[in-house]
Amino acid sequence: AGLDTGSVRVWVTNSDGTFEVTEYLTHEGNRFTFNTGDADLSFLDNETVTIRVQAADAIEVTDWCDHGPNILDTTWSFVMSETPCERTVNPITPANQDGFNDYTVFSFPNMRSTKLDKTIYIYDRYNHLVREISEPTENGWVWDGRDDDGNFVPQGVYVYVIVVDGEAVCNGTVSVAR
């Protein structure tokens, strides 16, 4: 008889508790998905996440089948992978805007979490703050070689420090070339 799509219920359990996310489900045929952002869920690196799904088939009660639908109630768990400190590309050549090496992309622990404060600080060789990045772009956590006023920085080596919830989790350098 197939799946009764109206019977599907989903719960997510993480370190913040257990949350029913059924209202955030979308489906195409028998494939169900939900966006964790829409459900206001956020996961930390190395966090265990458990998913529970309940569903029933769309069987009609008949003379030969009077026990009602078959019901699935299952759970599975996984651990969120740890995101290492990385940055690519280096060096960057942003001023020529040729589409190659125009920006560097940062990866860092807990970058996927929407509940933690995250900031990337970029300093010049004189330890002056030239850029503060506190939101990802559509390309991720990037620095495009510009200062906070939108001007391209001079050629040179720049130090970055990535702070998550008040703790410096990564640091390193990015070279800007012309």
Residue 141, Cβ neighbours under 10 Å: how many? 20
- 3-state SS of 75-91 is EEEEECCCCCCEEECCC
% of residues, the chain, pLDDT over 70? 94
Angle formed at CA 32 by CA 29 and CA 17, multiple of 5 degrees: 160
The whole-model pTM stands at: 0.77
Q: CB of 159 within 8 A of CB of 129?
A: no
pLDDT at position 3: 86
Q: Which pLDDT tens digit goes with each residue over 45-94? A: 999 999 999 998 887 666 666 666 788 999 999 999 999 999 999 999 99
To which residue do tokens 């807990």 refer?
110
Average pLDDT score, the chain: 92
Mean pLDDT of 135-145: 94
pLDDT at position 75: 98
Q: Which pLDDT tens digit goes with each residue over 23-51? A: 999 999 889 999 998 999 999 999 999 99
User: DSSP code of 152?
Assistant: B
Q: Which of 72, 69, 67, 78 is nearest to 9 (CA)?
A: 72
Distance (Å, rounded) from C-alpha 110 to C-alpha 81? 10
